């Protein structure tokens, strides 16, 4: 037997033909049992499909709310990490703070992508999206608060001294003997 001839030759050895060319009566020719009609099966199928669609819509709504509440867990974790970092300015506290600022910003930029799998005509995504946005804004506020705690936000007048003009000389004094 040559290489490849067993499969390509007279046909495939393991192929099964499912077409019904026989003249024997098939299951389509058998009458339905008493009390059974094909129309009732179609109605049951439509009711079942409607129930499946409703169940899918409920599942999507539930998952959308779970995704919307996910930033709360991140908020608690980030708050704990900021507390552990302390209130002195060093590399670890600055890294944690900028991470706390970056995560909500990137999450807010991708709100549409986050809720894309749950889009459906029967699912209202306004509530989950608003909760998602509110929790991420809370995370952003936590990061800004940490920046303020570290003293990295310009909130005092002394932070703007370089932009003030020099004070006017009110009086002039000189020492020594006039010549």
In a domain, 176, yes or no: no
pLDDT over 90 at 54, yes or no: no
136 burial level (CB within 10 Å; 0-12, 13-18, 19+)? buried
By residue range, what is the domain housing residue 145?
68-154
In a domain, 90, yes or no: yes
What's the average model confidence in pLDDT over 145-172?
85
Whole-angstrom distance, CA of residue 100 vs CA of residue 140: 7
In a domain, 107, yes or no: yes
114 phi and psi angles, rounded to 5 deg = -65, -40
156 vs 91, residue with greater confidence? 91
In a domain, 111, yes or no: yes
Q: What is the pLDDT of residues 126-138, one digit of tens each?
A: 999 999 999 999 9
37 vs 60, residue with greater confidence? 60
């Amino acid at each position: 037997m040559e290489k490849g001839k067993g499969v390509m030759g007279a046909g495939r050895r393991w192929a099964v033909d499912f077409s019904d060319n026989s003249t024997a009566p098939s299951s389509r020719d058998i009458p339905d049992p008493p009390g059974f009609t094909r129309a009732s099966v179609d109605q049951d199928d439509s009711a079942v499909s409607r129930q499946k669609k409703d169940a899918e819509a409920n599942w999507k709504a539930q998952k959308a709310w779970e995704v919307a509440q996910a930033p709360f867990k991140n908020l608690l974790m980030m708050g704990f990490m900021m507390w552990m970092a302390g209130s002195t300015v060093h590399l670890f506290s600055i890294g944690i703070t900028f991470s706390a600022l970056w995560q909500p910003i990137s999450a807010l930029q991708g709100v549409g992508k986050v809720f894309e799998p749950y889009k459906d005509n029967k699912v209202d995504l306004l509530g989950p999206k608003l909760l998602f946005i509110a929790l991420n804004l809370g995370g952003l506020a936590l990061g800004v608060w940490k920046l303020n705690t570290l003293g990295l936000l310009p909130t005092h007048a002394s932070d703007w001294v370089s932009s003030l003009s020099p004070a006017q000389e009110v009086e002039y004094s000189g020492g020594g003997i006039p010549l």
